[in-house]
Chain A
Amino acid sequence: MFGDLLPIILLSLYVSGAALIIAAIIGVPLGAGMALKPLPGQRLVDLIIYTGMGLPPVVVGLAVYLLLSRSGPIGFLNWLFTPSAMITAQVIIALPLVIGLTSSAVQAVDPALRLQVRALGATPAQVMRTVLWEAKAGVTAAIVAAFGGIISEVGAVMLVGGNIEGSTRVLTTAIVLETRQGNFGLALALGVVLLTFAFASNFVLLRLPGRRS
Chain B
Amino acid sequence: MNRPFYRLANVKQIYNGRAVLDVENLAVERGEILAIVGPSGAGKSTLLRLLNFLETPTEGEIVFDGTPIPRDPPLDLIRRATTVFQRPMLLNRSVRDNVSFGLSLRNIAPDGRVADVLNRVGLAGMETAAARELSGGEMQRVALARALVIRPDALLLDEPTANLDPYNVGLIESIVREQNESQGTTIVMVTHNVFQARRLAHRVGLLLNGNLIELSPTAEFFDSPRDPRAAVFARGEMAY
Contacts and interface: CB of A to CB of B under 8 A. Distances in A.
B82 interface: yes
Nearest to A131: B91
A119 B87 CA distance: 14
Contacts of B78: 121
B83 A116 contact: yes
Given A116-B83, A120-B82, A120-B101, A130 B91 contact: yes
Interface string A87-123: 0000000000000000000000010110111111111
A134 interface: yes
Contacts of A119: 52, 54, 82-83, 85, 156
Contacts of A115: 49, 54, 85, 89
B105 interface: yes
Query: Main SS of chain A's interface residues?
Result: helix
Nearest to A123: B75
Interface in A4-32: none
B102 interface: yes
B92 interface: yes
B79 interface: yes
A3 interface: no
Interface residues of B, number: 21
A210 interface: yes
Given A115-B54, A126-B105, A121 B75 contact: yes
Interface in B31-59: 49, 52, 54
Interface string A117-154: 11111110010001001100000000000000000000
A112 B87 CA distance: 9
Contact of B106 (A110, A116, A121): A121
Which residue, B75, B78, B150, has most C-beta atoms of chain A within 10 A?
Answer: B78
Interface in B81-117: 82-83, 85, 87, 89, 91-92, 101-102, 105-106
Contact of A113 (B52, B79, B89, B147): B89
B12 interface: no
Interface of A: 110, 112-113, 115-123, 126, 130, 133-134, 209-210
Given A112-B89, A134-B91, 18 more contacts: A112-B85, A113-B91, A115-B54, A116-B83, A117-B101, A118-B54, A119-B83, A120-B102, A120-B105, A120-B147, A121-B75, A121-B82, A122-B105, A123-B105, A126-B105, A134-B92, A209-B92, A210-B92
| Closest A-B pairs by Cβ, 7 of them | A121-B79, A116-B89, A119-B83, A120-B102, A113-B89, A119-B52, A122-B105
15 contacts: A113-B91, A115-B49, A115-B54, A119-B52, A119-B54, A119-B156, A120-B105, A121-B106, A121-B150, A122-B105, A123-B105, A133-B91, A134-B91, A134-B92, A209-B92
